[in-house]
Amino acid sequence: MPRRPLIGITGRRKRGDQLVGNLDVLAHMPVDLYYADYGRGVLEAGGIPVHLPLDVDPGDLVPRLDGVLLTGGADVDPNRYGHASTTDAFPPEPFRDEHECAVLDAAYADRLPVAGICRGLQVVNVHAGGTLHQDVPTHSGFAEPVDTEWHRVDFTAGSVLGGLYGADRPVNSLHHQTVDELGDGLVVTARAEDGSVEGLEHADLPVVAVQWHPEMLPTRADDPLFAWLVGRASGSAAA
Ligand SMILES: [Mn+2]
């Protein structure tokens, strides 16, 4: 690979007092963080992960990247898709919603490859005008180890995800929301056995998103989604 592509990784904001063992005097300080396994997946696929701080204007930073990974996290604020909130299990972080929608605006403007994982898939859908089911407990495997194979996913033949993963595969399931109405320009290319949306692609842009967490599975180092993202970001069109 002639040049290892830079992949921007989004994250969330906490307060110092939400970090176990942190100094009391730092309790009010903002902390930006993301789970390192997202970065490891990018590294193992040959890319270089860079964190996108929430205070940076995505319009300034995203055009300097080669690709973007939208990561998991809290619920998208239902106000963003015109619904009243019906759950407080994972309170929204509207600041992050705003930031990630601006990241997508900038990435789409430059046709950068975008991968979404879990909340990332949901942000892609809401950004495109779609809506979410706010609580789907049958997909909330939060009490089991994170690599537990929770349900099967079936992929659409001929789609990007179908090309990456084949006909089907077992996945983990660490989400309590799913896609309801599909956003403009998006195509569902993976579903769980109960019909829930587990994968999306954009009809015209290099955007692929999954509802499960490939970075938490033992197959992470060889996961095709990370390979697709880094491959597209390096211009080698892996899929
Ligand atoms: Mn699921």
Give mean pLDDT, residues 53-60. 96
What spacing in Å lies between the alpha carbon of 190 and ligand 1's midpoint?
A: 11
Q: What is the pLDDT of residues 64-87, one digit of tens each?
A: 999 999 999 999 999 999 999 999
In this structure, are residues 189 and 159 in contact, taking their beta carbons and an 8 Å threshold?
yes
How confident is the model over 154-208, as pLDDT tens digits? 999 999 999 999 999 999 999 999 999 999 999 999 999 999 999 999 999 999 9
Closest CA to 200 of 184, 223, 214, 220: 184
pLDDT score of 238 more than 60: no
Say whether pTM exceeds 0.85: yes
From CA 154, how far away is CA 91, in angstroms rounded? 30
What is the pLDDT at residue 236? Answer: 58
Question: Is-catalytic flag, 215?
Answer: yes
Give, in words, the CATH class of 6-233: alpha beta
Beta strand segments in the chain, E: 6-9, 12-15, 30-33, 48-51, 67-70, 114-117, 132-133, 151-155, 168-171, 178-179, 186-192, 197-202, 207-210
Distance between CA atoms of residues 213 and 10, nearest Å? 15
How many Å lie between the centroid of ligand 1 and the Cα of residue 184? 22
Ligand 1 center from residue 84 Cα (angstroms): 23
The neighbourhood of ligand 1, an ion, using CB within 5 A, equals: 139, 173
For the chain, the average pLDDT equals 95
The packing angle between helices 36-44 and 224-233, to 10°, is 70
Active-site annotation holder among 100, 118, 176, 202: 118
Say whether 118 is catalytic.
yes
Residue 220 alpha carbon to ligand 1 centre in Å = 17
Please, which residues have CB within 8 angstroms of residue 25's CB and are 6 or more apart in sequence? none
Candidates 99, 139, 202, 213; catalytic one? 213
Whether residue 228 contacts residue 239, with contact meaning beta carbons closer than 8 Å, is answered with: yes
> How much distance in Å is there from the Cα of 185 to the middle of ligand 1?
22
pLDDT value of residue 235: 85
In DSSP notation, 136-149 reads -GGGB-TTS-TT--
